[in-house]
Each structure stands twice: as structure tokens, then as C-alpha cells.
Amino acid sequence: MDFAIFHNLALGFSVALTLQNLMYCFFGVLLGTLIGVLPGIGPLATIAMLLPITFTLPPIAALIMLAGIYYGAQYGGSTTAILVNIPGESSSVITCLDGYQMARQGRAGPALAIAAIGSFFAGSVATVVIALFAPPLAEVALKFGPAEYFSLMVLGLVGATVLASGSLIKAIAMTILGLLLGVVGTDVNSGVARFTFGIPELYDGIGFIIIAMGLFGFTEIVLNLEQGEAREVFVKKVTNIMPTWKDIKDSAGAIMRGTAIGSVLGILPGGGALLSSFAAYTVEKKIGDPSNFGKGEIRGVAAPESANNAGAQTSFIPMLTLGIPSNVVMALMIGAMMIQGIAPGPQVMTEKPELFWGLIASMWIGNLMLVILNLPLIGIWVKLLSIPYRLLYPSILLFCGVGVYSISNQPFDMMLAALFGVLGYVFIKLECEPAPLILGFILGPMMEENLRRAMLLSRGDATVFFTKPISGALLAVAILLLLVTLAPAVRKTRDSAFQE
């Protein structure tokens, strides 16, 4: 088994080290860092914007680039959190608390260096976790039938709904709306048009890119234009980047704990970078002296920055092995795979090993590029922070518009994307998180397909979902999770945790 892993990794590096894939990996991590640095443009909106470009790219290059954007943004987000007290990325919110205080004390250099070291260590360890745990998980998944897959997707949706911030009822409503949008179009089995309202453009269904671009690209722009432009770049020039031996000793334990927390939470449905960084900070606060945190404690930078990188990378495990997105960015990655004609799931590892292992190997290379890139370019990132929003957002809006139109050259697509942009803005104002909608939209058609297959094989006997051991266990866990979360005491704790 160990030799098989080495053989597979050798295949992966032979793919990732080609000139073309190195170039796309570099472009991905550089762009990821850039959008992490610029407040208000997250990896979600960027990946949504770049999905149309992936039409013209080879599948491996496209996935390597999109993955680089996601984990690269975790690095870049810490730069603004430390220097400007504005998180460039949502998972860097918690880094502001101690990182900015360190910058005010003249210790911005060590804060940025520890964030980069922690991110590199966590990213490298998380990649090892993927290489070790993904193959056995994919082997188990290959034994799944339609009933097991349907139950697994139900569990995935329930998990993502439970871990979505805000009201549980709103999260469930958003998931159901996503499932309903997923069935718009011509039914594959019967050839009947469903929910198209006689509009010919809807016969092929609603394009994934249109929903993603509207809900995340356009909505993000409007929300950022609402906010003021007041940004105080506290540190114009960063000096003394190298941390002291005491800094390294203080943060070593926090980096390891953050890596462990992120590696576990990244795999969970609804997990990923954001949940990991908050959990790691909470753990450090409980272990250490709480009165030191929020005043420039280096462990308050090391732990969340390690956790968000580990969480970002291990969230690829369920996406690559089961075809189940653990968060909304992974849903976009599945969308990118579908665009390339690749059916996500355990068969990817057996049918396209070069894609699977090439992506894993590229993460190691990408993490190394990020460490080499980030610290020397801090001066450039500081200058970029002075770009006014009024210049930045028209160009992003134009890029979004070109991307949507280029898919099928239909003006209707533009109107639909604009409609989802308005809907996304309304959802945010009503405190309805759009992430469960995208997960429901991606998983909806797959759930329907597996539901129908299971019912055909069982000759219409719905008890098949409960009588098959694995399927029954997965559904039982999903129902239990939902009931536990609806319990008043747990609900109160959940609400207060998200509030905090």
C-alpha cells in the first residue's frame, strides 16, 4: 500500500511538474493571494468568475488553477488582516484580533512570517492527509449503490445546513430552493420540460455558472459598494520579517494544533477554512491565558492561519473521493469538473489517476510557491491596498458580464445572472446564507438520479433506503443530526457560537 502511494505520488509530480501545469499553478496561487489581499473579493466570487475560462483549458490545468486560487486566498487574507485590520478573506476575520495589534506594536513582520510558516506547514500536512486518506475512502465509495449515494448526499446537505451561519430554518429553506432550481429543465428520463414556464432557454436547465456568478460575483460587488472606503494602512513598510526564536517557540504548538483542527474540520460537510480558523482560535484561548488574546498574542495569528489552510485543503477529500462538496467552493470545483465532462466521484481516481494525483502534487508545489512569493511581495501587496474600490469594481463587473455571455452567447443568460444577483442581495439582507442553495443546486440532480435508480432496482420499494445497512446508517445520522440541532439547548449554543 505504501509503495502504491509512492508510485501514485510519482505519477502526480510527473503531471504537476510539466511546464503548462506549473504555469497554471503559479497563476492560481498568485491570483489567490491577490484576491485574498484585496478586501471584498473572496475566492468564491473569483472562482465563479473564472469558471467560463475553464471551458478552454485542459481539465488538470483548470482544477490546479482553481485549487491554487482557493488555498492561495487563505495566505493573502492574513496580509490585510494584519496590516489594515480588514480581513481579505472571511477565514482571516479572527486573525485581525491579534495580527493587527502586533502590527500596531511594530511587529507586523513576525506576524506575517508566522502566518506564512503556519500556512505552509498546515498546507503540506493537509496534502499528506489527502494522499493517505483519499484512496481508501474512494475504495469504500466504489462499493456504494444508488441507495447509499442518495443517503450520503442527504447527510452532506444536512451537515452543510446545520453548519451554515444564521437561522436553521432559513438554511433549510435555501437548500430546498437550491434542490428545486436543480430540477428546472428537461427531465432526462421522460423528456418532459419541468418548471420552464414555456421559456425555451430554460429547457436545458439553469446554468451553474449563471447562478454562481449572480449569487456570488454580482452580489459581492453590490455589497462592497455599500461600504465606505476608509482604510488605514497602518504599516507602510514592513521591516524585520524574521520572527525571533521565542516567536517560533510560542507559536509551534499553536501551528500544530491549528493544523490538526483544520485537517479534521475541513472534511466535514459545511466545514472548510472559515469554521477551522474560528475553532482553532477558540481552542488556543482555552489553553492559554485568555487575557493575552486580542492584545497581540502570536498564537492568535499562528493557530487560525494554520487551521484555515489545512481546512481549505482537506475539504478536497470528500469532493475528490465521493463527489460530495463539503463547502460552496468545493461545489464550484465540482461545477468545473462537470464543465470538463468529468463525473465527480470515486471513479475519478481509477479512471483519471493523473488528474487526481496531479492535483494533490500541485498542492505541495503551490504551497512552496506561496511561501517564496508572499514574504518578498509584501511591499507590493501594501501598495495594492490603496487602489480605490470605485476603480476596482466596474472592471470586475465587466469581467463577470463577459464571462456569463461567453458561455452560450445568449442575452437571456445575462438577465438571469442579474436576477440572481438581485436575489443574492435580498438573501443577504434577509440574513439567508446563499451557500446551502448552491450545494442543493449541485447535489439536487445527482440525488434525483440516485433516488430513481434505487427505486427502479427495488421495484418501487422505498424501504430500501433503510434496509440497506450503510444507507440506513447514513440516513439515521442525518436525522439524528437534524433533531439534535433543533433541540432548544443545542440551538441556543449554536446561535451563540455563530454570534460570537
Q: Which residue, among 307, 237, 245, 303, has the nearest Cα to 275 in the 3D structure?
A: 307
What is residue 266's three-state secondary structure? coil
pLDDT tens sequence across 222-245: 777 776 555 555 555 566 667 778
Distance, in Å, from the CA atom of 494 to the CA atom of 498, rounded to the nearest integer, reads: 6
Rounded to two decimals, the pTM is 0.76
Domain carrying residue 79: 2-499
Query: If 0-12 CB within 10 Å is exposed, 13-18 middle and 19+ buried, where does residue 288 land?
Result: middle
Q: Sign of the CA dihedral 162, 95, 131, 370?
A: positive
Taking the C-alpha atoms of residue 427 and residue 425, their distance in angstroms, rounded to an integer, is: 5
- What's the average model confidence in pLDDT over 344-359? 85
Model pLDDT for residues 304-315, shown as the tens digit of each residue: 889 888 888 888
CB-CB neighbours of 430 under 10 Å: 10
Cell (9 digits) for 268? 466535514
- Distance CA(98)–CA(105), nearest Å, equals 11
Q: What percent of the chain has pLDDT over 90?
A: 10
The predicted pLDDT at position 419 comes to 93
- What band does 1 get if pLDDT is binned at 50, 70 and 90? very low
Find where cell 446508517 sits: 473
Domain count along the chain: 1
Distance in angstroms (rounded) separating the CA atoms of residues 194 and 186: 6
